[in-house]
Amino acid sequence: MSLAPSLLPRTSSAQAMVTGLLVVVALAVAGVLRFAVRRFDINGRPDRFRAPLFGLTTVAVLGMVAHATHWQNRLRMAMGTALIGPDYWLRWGLVSVVIVGVFVAIARASGLFVRKSGWARGIAVCLAAASVLYLIGVPAAVDWRRNAYAAANATIDPALVQPVSYARSGSAESAISWTSLGAEGRKFVTGAPAGPIRVYVGLDSAPDLDSRVALAIRELERSGGFERSNIVLAVPTGSGWIDANAVRGFYERFGGDVALVGMQYSYAPSWVSFVFGRDGAVASARALFNAVERRIGTLDHKPELYVYGQSLGALGGSSIFADDADQDHRTCATLWAGPPAGQVHRAGATVLANSSDPVVHWSPSLLWRAPELRGVRVDAPVPQWLPVISFLQTSADLLAALNAPPGHGHRYGTDQGTAMGTC
């Protein structure tokens, strides 16, 4: 199962993690079944079948390794990366054995403790340990990750220079402080190209959603954003990231006659926000869009309004609208890049989706049915869908979706701006 075809090339360590964890699960299932079977008197234990089965399994594993080598190299040739050889599988085997060994050692030590303590006492201790882990360990881990995300958001990259242009949030003239923009916001408002107005409101720029929206409107007014002919509402990913390639693409598409506005709704990575807090993306995008739309309605010179989103930003941006007709009526055009499971309004929208992007494939329904890959760009070989296995493989690929070469996986280039439609 772990060697089944994936969407993206994998390092030997990543492949070993998938293999090791699935082998541990298989051993756990086997242990439970063995415990259950011991309660029955089964005559004629099939020992004579063990050697042939071991031989067939060895041949099957070697065959899967050969097939996985062929598939990985097909992906790598399509994406222009280095091919793998025998050393890849040597590292894979060693790391897999270490992972399985650690879990097996923990399981055996636990079993030994239960046998020496007696079943009743051992189970009681295990239940007590599980309760402590659930009541204390899990909340502590959640707080640790939340604090880690907040710390990463607050860290100021010394390579980034605070903007001096009045047209950028975080400048001296801006009502939004440089420090409150967050790590991704600071990246967004700095750097080339110089033409577009860039307004960004960080999660720490104001205490609640309504005040952040009001601050974004004031910032657009201050910077002259409403005087431009085009306004692009860029819905960030979970961490607040807006792809710099999209910014360059919008500059190529509109020149300097455009204002870009984004608003952060989370510190956490997109996959965390997608699983646990996608409502924040929807509420933030909807509130900001409605406010910008109302303000444009009061102007004599009415800029054209566009919406762009990548990944969870695409889902949040599309959720602004009730349906395709509402989206077409209220915007000049929309562009969605790498939408999760393709869950966006498509009529009149430009949808960028690579066939190798696991974000486009992933959905719980992948367990029992093939993904709907309508309108994807086939950029690499696409594995055949397999029940359960495809879900596991795609879930593993999600962790490396942004590590793919440009134009593959979850990486979309300046097409994110240049492919935006017209009114």
| pLDDT 10s digits, 320-375 | 999 999 999 999 999 999 998 878 888 889 999 999 999 999 989 999 999 988 88
Low-confidence winner among 44-53, 59-68, 406-415 (lowest mean pLDDT): 44-53
CA distances from 414 to 253, 291, 382, 420 (A): 10, 28, 24, 10
Region 130-138: mean pLDDT is 73
Share of the chain above pLDDT 90, in %: 68
The closest of 313, 334, 208 to 269, measured between CA atoms, is 313
3-class secondary-structure state, position 200: strand
CA distances from 148 to 143, 151, 153, 272 (A): 8, 5, 9, 13
The reported pLDDT for the residue numbered 277 is 61
The Cα angle at residue 75 between residues 74 and 77, in degrees rounded to 5: 65
Work out the number of other CB atoms within 10 angstroms of the CB of residue 384.
9
DSSP element (H, E) containing 333: strand 333-337
Both tokens of 243, joined, read: 């792809």
Let me know how long the chain is.
Answer: 423
State the helix-helix crossing angle for 86-117 and 50-79, rounded to 10 degrees.
130
The reported pLDDT for the residue numbered 46 is 66
- Mean pLDDT across the chain, nearest whole number? 89
The reported pLDDT for the residue numbered 400 is 87
The reported pLDDT for the residue numbered 332 is 95
Start-end of H helices in 239-356:
244-254, 270-276, 278-297, 312-318, 324-330
- How many angstroms separate the CA atoms of 255 and 195, rounded? 7
The reported pLDDT for the residue numbered 295 is 96
The reported pLDDT for the residue numbered 109 is 85
- How many angstroms separate the CA atoms of 404 and 30, rounded? 36
Exposure b/e, 80-102, CB count within 10 A at least 16 = b: eeeebeeebbeebeebbeebbee
Q: Is the pLDDT of residue 136 over 80?
A: no
| Contact predicate 266/290, CB 8 Å | no
Q: Is the pLDDT of residue 137 over 80?
A: no
User: Residue type for 212, please?
Assistant: R
Q: Is the pLDDT of residue 44 over 60?
A: no
Q: What are phi and psi of 242, to 5 degrees?
A: -120, 120
Q: Is the pLDDT of residue 156 over 90?
A: no
Binning pLDDT at 50, 70 and 90, where does residue 108 land?
confident
The reported pLDDT for the residue numbered 276 is 64
User: Which residue spans within 209-280 are E strands per DSSP?
Assistant: 230-235, 258-263
Q: What is the pLDDT of residues 109-127, one digit of tens each?
A: 887 877 777 777 777 777 7
Q: What is the pLDDT of residues 236-250, one digit of tens each?
A: 988 899 999 999 999
Sheet holding 349-352, edge to edge: 197-201, 258-263, 230-235, 304-310, 333-337, 349-352
Q: Tell me how many helices (H) and strands (E) the chain has.
A: 15, 6
State the helix-helix crossing angle for 86-117 and 12-37, rounded to 10 degrees.
40
Q: What is the pLDDT of residues 387-421, one digit of tens each?
A: 999 999 999 999 888 888 889 999 999 999 999 99
Region 161-172: mean pLDDT is 92
Region 277-299: mean pLDDT is 91
Work out the number of other CB atoms within 10 angstroms of the CB of residue 342.
22
Q: Is the pLDDT of residue 142 over 90?
A: no
